[in-house]
Structures are given as structure tokens and as C-alpha cells.
Amino acid sequence: MPNHSKDQKLGIIEEMKNHLTNPKTVDNILMTIGVIDVEFERVDRTYLIDSDKVALTVIVRNKAKECLEKAILYFKHGRADYQQLVDVSVGIGSDCDYKIALFDGRQNPNDNQLCEKCYECEKAFVDAMSVRYVPCYLVKVSRKKDLEGNSFYEPKLFKGYNPELINPDQKPFSKTDFERMEFWVSYYDNGVSNPCIYSTDHESWAPDTQSSFNLKCGIRLLLEWGETGLDVVFEADDEEGVEALDWAYENNWSALGNLFKSRNIKLDKITDAESRIIIRMWNNPYRDFVLSDRDGKEKFAGDFVALERQSVEWLDSILSEYLSIRNGNASNDKEL
């Protein structure tokens, strides 16, 4: 940075410190870093200005190394907007701490550009650590009504611990955490085909909103990651539910396809060993979806909630028709 005097450099450093001391900035960064690892500690954050480079150094405890190594790879190769601008170097500090330095290599940036780029660089790397390689991502969805009284859903994004990484018996949030929430959806990016998105009636998550996806005839709706993508699962507890789902499939199942035409998703119906009816989503755009930027996260949350809501509304109307026909037949039988 040869065009800046010593006083100018000190001013830039002071401005960078202001970013870190801003309450909102610090809260956001601490919340994000906090999900990395229970042993993760933010020991040091240092900006060094030398020549034409700016380095952000983050030192962490040894146990977080593996997670950070993966995050570095993702940061270097997964973000096209930073590939040319940022170089990442890694070194081992004292006491086996892990040191990551992010360099802004542009020539002669002015004060504001330098400060903003350094902050963006830091935020992007934190996002890379917390979203891509820590497998728990939570979406809070608030149910609201517009001026005409129609319900709609507004997704808001939060991060939280993955209990499977910390303690299988430890729940990520207590019951009181759900007092002001309509429902939560957990998104896991752990590379396995086990169910990763749970329905809102999952008793350990939101016990006071169990009716949200408990449909008629004892049927529940879940969205799960399957081997081929995101599966829409209609789960029946008893014979009545299985019969109702079979009826829906025979009579109105094609209507479900209309929900997905705009997404170019093909559907297939399977009955598994537990008598669950599973709708496989082929050509699923969410299968390889990488939550790498804020717009992408919001789009994913919005599409996901819309898909879930439409599936619930569709099956709920079909089951109402089924019950009406069944109850009508029962009344006719009594009259006979």
C-alpha cells in the first residue's frame, strides 16, 4: 500500500476495528463462529497491512482444525467471486493453534474499499466455515397474514448446533426457545441419505405446534433427503391412513404433479416396507444445492416452505374429499 501514509494506514486499521466493535457485527460473527465446534475459541483476530495486502488472521484451538481445513478448501474453490481476489494461507501458531490468514491482493485500494473488502472477506470465510461444513442449519418460518387475510410464510435464517456432532442425547434448543416460533425446519448437509429434514410435529422440536402437519386420517407429511434427492413423504400410522393414501393416489394423485411443473421435477410413488407412501422428486434442484450466499439461502428457504405448504394443502383437500365420500357411503349404508 505504497500510496498511503503511516497515519492513513493507522486510520484504516482503526476503521477495521470499528467493524469488529460494532455490536451487530460482533454478535453476528460470534453467533456464526460459535457453531463451528464446541472446542472452538476465537483467540485472536488481527488485521495486518503490509505493502498492497491486507491479512485477516484467525487463530483457533487445535480441535477445530479439520473443520477449518475443509472450510478453506471450500472458500478457495467454491466462491467464484473470491477466487481471483483472495488468497488463503494456513500456518500452525504457538501451542498448536491454527492460524488462517485471508489476503486481499488488490493494488492500491482506497480506504473504504479496503475496509469493506476486508470485512466481506471475513464474513465470507465465516459463512464458509459455518454453513458448508458444519451440518446444522435452521430455518425459522413465521406464519403471517396479508391485508386480505391470506396466510403466507416468511422464512428467516438461523444457525444452531447439530446435536449429533456434540451429544446424541442433547437437544439443540429447549422448549422455551420455541415460544415465539410457528415452526422450525432443520437442514443437514452431512453427506448421508438419512432423513435430514424433519416435520414440524417432531415432538422434541416443537411440541406446541404438532397440528401443523398432522393431517386427516392420522397422516403426517415429512420432507426427507433420499438417495435420489428430496422425498415428499406421506406417512400413515394405521390401516385407515394407508387406505386414504391409496385412494388419493388412485383418484387425484396427478394433481400433485402440478405443484412441481415449474420446477421441472418428476414424481414417482413408492410404498416402502413401513407402508409409507413416498413421492420421489427426480431432477431435484435441491439435491446439490450449496448454501453459499445469502440470496441462495433465502431462495432455498422460500422454495422449500412453498413446496411444503402446497403439499400439505393439496393432501388436506384430497383427504377431505375422501372422508366426505367415505362418510357419505357410510350414511347410505345405514339408511339401507
Q: What H or E segment, with its residue span, contains residue 139?
A: strand 136-145
Residue 312: band (very low, low, confident or very high) from pLDDT cuts 50, 70, 90: low
Residue 326: band (very low, low, confident or very high) from pLDDT cuts 50, 70, 90: confident
Q: What architecture is domain 6-132?
A: 2-Layer Sandwich (3.30)
Residue 176: band (very low, low, confident or very high) from pLDDT cuts 50, 70, 90: very low
Give yes or no for residue 320 having a pLDDT over 50. yes
Give yes or no for residue 248 having a pLDDT over 70. yes
When pLDDT is averaged across residues 298-322 and rounded to a whole number, the result is 64
**In the numeric block, which cell numbers belong to residue 175?**
422448549
Give the pLDDT score at 184: 28
Give yes or no for residue 20 having a pLDDT over 60. no
Give yes or no for residue 246 having a pLDDT over 70. yes
Give yes or no for residue 36 having a pLDDT over 50. no
Give the pLDDT score at 29: 31
Q: Taking the domains of the chain in order of start, what are their residue ranges?
A: 6-132, 136-333
Give the pLDDT score at 300: 47
When pLDDT is averaged across residues 54-72 and rounded to a whole number, the result is 46
Whole-prediction pTM value?
0.32
Residue 263: band (very low, low, confident or very high) from pLDDT cuts 50, 70, 90: low
Q: What is the 3-state secondary structure (H, E, C) of 203-251?
A: CCCCHHHHHHCECHHHEEEEEEECCCCEEEEEEECCHHHHHHHHHHHHH
Our separate counts of H helices and E strands in the chain read 9, 11
When pLDDT is averaged across residues 60-69 and rounded to a whole number, the result is 47
Q: For the ranges 1-5, 71-75, 76-80, 187-191, which has the lowest average pLDDT? A: 187-191
Give the pLDDT score at 317: 76
pLDDT digits (tens, 9 = 90+) for 85-129: 344 444 444 433 444 444 443 333 343 333 444 445 555 555 444
Q: Whats the size of the chain, residue-wise?
A: 336
In the chain, pLDDT over 90 holds for what percent of residues? 0
Q: What is the mean pLDDT of the chain?
A: 46
Burial 302-317, CB ≥16 within 10 A → b, else e: eebbebbbebeebbee
Q: Which amino acid is present at 138?
A: L
Q: For the ranges 7-21, 129-143, 172-186, 208-222, which has the lowest average pLDDT? A: 172-186
